[in-house]
């Protein structure tokens, strides 16, 4: 991943130069690491000294703390967010002949895991305001599809999907809901913490997620104790006791060093979430002041009425922007990082061509893929940098 440290110059006399030299990276993980460096290195050293390198007490602690933090009944540490979803679907016995419904506007893994197990993916379009699975589209798919074994809403960008409507529809059809909360640890819905509302869910600790490890790591959550023990067994080749295998799992184990880093970072997560929300609020005010809130479509906070403070934790701050690609090039020229999540919806990906979808099947997902842009957001982002982003966007449109 490309990262640069923002250039900091003294205020006052050099302010003009600072403007010329301003760099605003999409994300800068070095700024989060710096104040925690001594603590993190000490924790890593402790794991090194113990030589307990896979699973073990650091993983146990992380699992207990994530379960407590989210209110999930059970939390099982695994090797990545992708593996979390894969092992969960394996534990549920999802495979050939089964159908899984999800959104085509998400990171590839959400659908990739379903395909890897030989189940059939059926997509349902998104809501254009939240970019999350549309309850109406879901209902239509369920009414017309048999063999559906799971519904996977994604809390994209750190914004909770409409879980109340989705769970209600799912209950009508008797289908379990599995939450892809890879981008949404720390995000709350009136029904609970994202990833711990429905039957099961998962988080990713990939470094760019809101709680990032020093490599790959993930976590499965679920309500049912016997499902949890099945997942625990499958993450270690279905082995119980050693070298006796009841079922075919995989190596989805979590490394102790990753858990140790995450154990240091977890107590900071709420503070970082608040920092992201403050920066989102700053963008909102600044774009409105610049008269751009009608030009751009800013992210919405769908559960504000419920008085929930962190229903969107802005893993990404995504706007719809006219002439998106030209804006992105203009920002890049001005030293401002941005990203497109995601440029091609999954139903149009080459590897899913066998599903038989074509352009026009999911118009909201296709439109979002063409119109949206993620702007820099992270807890250490400076107000001057955000003001510069807004000013540069304004220049582009005038």
Ligand X SMILES: *Cc1c(COP(=O)(O)O)cnc(C)c1O
Residues in contact with ligand X by CB under 6 A are: 80-82, 106-107, 109-110, 154, 180, 182-183, 204, 206, 216, 218
Sign, Cα dihedral of 158, 232, 54, 243: negative
Distance in angstroms (rounded) separating the CA atoms of residues 57 and 50: 11
Which long-range contacts link 57-62 to residues 24+ away (Cβ below 8 Å)?
57/256, 58/256, 58/257, 58/259, 58/260, 58/263, 59/254, 59/256, 59/259, 61/259, 61/263, 62/219, 62/254, 62/259, 62/262, 62/263, 62/266
Residue 78 Cβ vs ligand X, minimum distance, rounded to whole Å: 9
CA of 16: how far to CAs of 9, 222, 333, in Å?
10, 54, 18
**Nearer Cβ to ligand X (218/345):** 218
For the chain, the first-to-last Cα distance in angstroms comes to 32
Least distance CB 378 / ligand X (angstroms): 16
| DSSP-assigned beta bridge partners for residue 318 | 374
Closest CA to 299 of 283, 286, 317, 322: 317
In the complex, minimum distance from the CB of residue 26 to ligand X, in angstroms, rounded to a whole number: 15
Nearer to ligand X, 6 or 158 (CB): 158
Q: How far is the CB of 176 from ligand X (least distance, A)?
A: 18
Task: Examine residue 241 and say whether the peptide bond preceding it is cis (omega within 30 degrees of 0).
Answer: yes
Instruction: Identify which of residues 185 and 321 has a Cβ nearer to ligand X in the complex.
Output: 185
Specify the residue, 154 or 346, whose C-beta has the smaller distance to ligand X. Answer: 154
Q: Which CB atom, from 22 or from 119, has the smaller least distance to ligand X? A: 119
Query: Looking at beta carbons only, is 104 or 218 nearer to ligand X?
Result: 218
Q: Tell the smallest beta-carbon distance from residue 97 to ligand X (Å).
A: 24
Name 101's bridge partners. Answer: 122, 151
Match 């600044």 to its residue by tokens: 286
By Cβ distance, which residue is nearest to ligand X?
81
Verify cis geometry, omega within 30 degrees of 0, for the bond prior to 333: no
Question: Cβ closer to ligand X: 89 or 182?
Answer: 182
Cα–Cα distance, 320 to 364 (Å, whole number): 12
CB of 318 to ligand X, least distance (A): 13
Shortest approach of ligand X to residue 127 CB, angstroms? Answer: 16
């Amino acid at each position: 991943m490309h990262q640069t440290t923002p250039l900091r110059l003294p205020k006052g006399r050099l302010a003009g130069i600072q403007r010329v030299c301003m760099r605003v990276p999409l994300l800068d993980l070095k700024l989060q690491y710096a104040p925690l460096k001594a603590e993190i290195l000490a924790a890593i050293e402790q794991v090194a000294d113990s030589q307990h390198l896979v699973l073990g007490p650091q993983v146990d602690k992380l699992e207990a703390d994530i379960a407590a933090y989210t209110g999930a009944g059970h939390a099982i540490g695994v090797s990545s967010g992708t593996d979390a979803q894969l092992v969960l679907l394996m534990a549920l016995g999802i495979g050939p002949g089964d159908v899984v419904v999800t959104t085509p506007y998400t990171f590839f893994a959400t659908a990739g895991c379903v395909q890897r197990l030989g189940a059939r993916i059926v997509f349902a379009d998104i809501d254009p305001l939240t970019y999350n699975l549309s309850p109406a589209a879901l209902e239509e798919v369920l009414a017309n599809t048999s063999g559906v074994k799971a519904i996977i809403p994604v809390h994209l960008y750190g914004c909770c999907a409409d879980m109340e409507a989705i769970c209600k529809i799912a209950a009508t059809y008797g289908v379990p809901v599995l939450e892809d909360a890879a981008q949404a640890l720390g995000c709350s819905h009136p029904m609970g913490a994202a990833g711990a509302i429905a039957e099961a869910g998962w988080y990713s600790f990939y470094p760019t997620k809101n709680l990032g490890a020093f490599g790959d790591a993930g976590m499965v959550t679920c309500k049912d104790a016997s499902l949890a023990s099945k997942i625990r067994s499958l993450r270690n080749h279905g082995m119980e006791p050693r070298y006796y295998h009841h079922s075919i799992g995989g190596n989805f184990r979590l490394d102790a060093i990753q858990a140790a880093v995450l154990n240091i970072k977890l107590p900071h997560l709420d503070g970082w979430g608040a920092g992201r929300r403050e920066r989102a609020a700053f963008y909102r005010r600044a774009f409105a002041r610049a008269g751009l809130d009608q030009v751009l479509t800013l992210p919405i906070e769908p559960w504000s009425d419920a008085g929930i403070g962190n229903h969107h934790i802005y893993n990404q701050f995504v706007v719809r922007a006219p002439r998106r690609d030209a804006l992105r090039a203009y920002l890049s020229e001005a030293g401002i990082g941005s990203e497109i999540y995601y440029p091609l919806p999954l139903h149009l990906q080459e590897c899913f061509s066998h599903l038989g979808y074509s352009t026009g099947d999911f118009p909201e997902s296709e439109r979002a893929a063409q119109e949206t842009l993620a702007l820099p957001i992270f807890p250490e982002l400076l107000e001057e940098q955000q003001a510069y982003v807004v000013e540069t966007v304004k220049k582009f449109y005038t």
